[in-house]
Chain A
Amino acid sequence: QMGRVGKRQASRAFSLYANIDILRPYFDVEPVQVRARLLESMIPVKMINFPQKIAGELYGPLMLVFTLVAILLHGMKTSDTIIREGTLMGTAIGTCFGYWLGVSSFIYFLAYLCNAQITMVQMLSLLGYGLFGHCITLFVTYNIHFHSLFYIFWLGVGGLSTLRMVAVLVSRTVGHTQRLILCGTLAALHMLFLLYLHFAYHKVVEGILDTLEGPNMPPFQRVARDIPVVSNAVLNTTAKAVALTL
Chain B
Amino acid sequence: MSNFEQFHFDFYQSNYTIDDQEEGYNSYGSNENLCGNRKSQTGEQPPASGFAPSEMLLSSQSYTGQILQPTYSPNTLSYLSYTDGFDEEPPLLEELGINFEHIWQKTLTVLNPMKPADGSIMNETDLTGPMVFCLALGATLLLVGRKVHFGYVYGLSAIGCLAMHALLNLMSIPGVSHGCVASVLGYCLLPMVILSSSAVVFSLQGILGTLLALLIIGWCSLSASKIFTSALAMEGQQLLIAYPCALLYGLFALLTVF
Question: Which residues in A have some Cβ–Cβ distance to B below 8 Å?
Answer: 17, 20, 23-24, 27-31, 34, 59, 63, 66-67, 70, 73-74, 77-78, 228, 230
Interface flag for B171 (CB, 8 Å): yes
Interface size class of B (residues with CB under 8 A): 10 to 19
Contact status A28-B254, CB under 8 Å:
no
Checking B205, B207, B239, B244 against A31 with a beta-carbon cut-off of 8 angstroms, the contacting residue is B239
Chain A contacts for B169, CB-based, 8 A: 17, 20
Contact status A66-B237, CB under 8 Å:
no
Contact status B171-A30, CB under 8 Å:
no
Contact status B205-A228, CB under 8 Å:
yes
Contact status A30-B236, CB under 8 Å:
yes
Interface flag for B243 (CB, 8 Å): yes
For the complex with contacts A30-B240, A66-B247, 18 further pairs of A-B residues with Cβ separation under 8 Å are A20-B166, A24-B170, A27-B167, A28-B171, A29-B240, A31-B237, A34-B240, A59-B171, A66-B244, A67-B247, A70-B254, A73-B251, A73-B254, A77-B254, A78-B258, A228-B206, A228-B207, A230-B206
Q: Is the interface of B mostly helix, strand, loop or mixed?
A: helix
| Number of cross-chain contacts by CB at 8 Å | 42
Chain B contacts for A23, CB-based, 8 A: 170
Chain B contacts for A28, CB-based, 8 A: 171
List the B residue with the shortest CB-CB distance to A27. B170
Cα–Cα distance between A14 and B234 once the two chains are bound (Å) = 24
Minimum Cβ distance to chain A for residue B177 (Å)? 12
Checking A63, A73, A78 against B244 with a beta-carbon cut-off of 8 angstroms, the contacting residue is A63
Chain A contacts for B247, CB-based, 8 A: 63, 66-67, 70
Given A30-B237, A228-B206, A230-B207; A70-B170 close (CB under 8 Å): no
Chain B contacts for A66, CB-based, 8 A: 244, 247
Interface flag for B250 (CB, 8 Å): yes
Given A73-B251, A74-B254; A20-B170 close (CB under 8 Å): yes
Checking A27, A34, A78 against B171 with a beta-carbon cut-off of 8 angstroms, the contacting residue is A27
Chain B contacts for A29, CB-based, 8 A: 240
What string of 1s and 0s marks CB contacts (under 8 Å) between B194-236 and chain A? 0000000000011100000000000000000000000000001
List the B residue with the shortest CB-CB distance to A28. B171
List the B residue with the shortest CB-CB distance to A16. B166
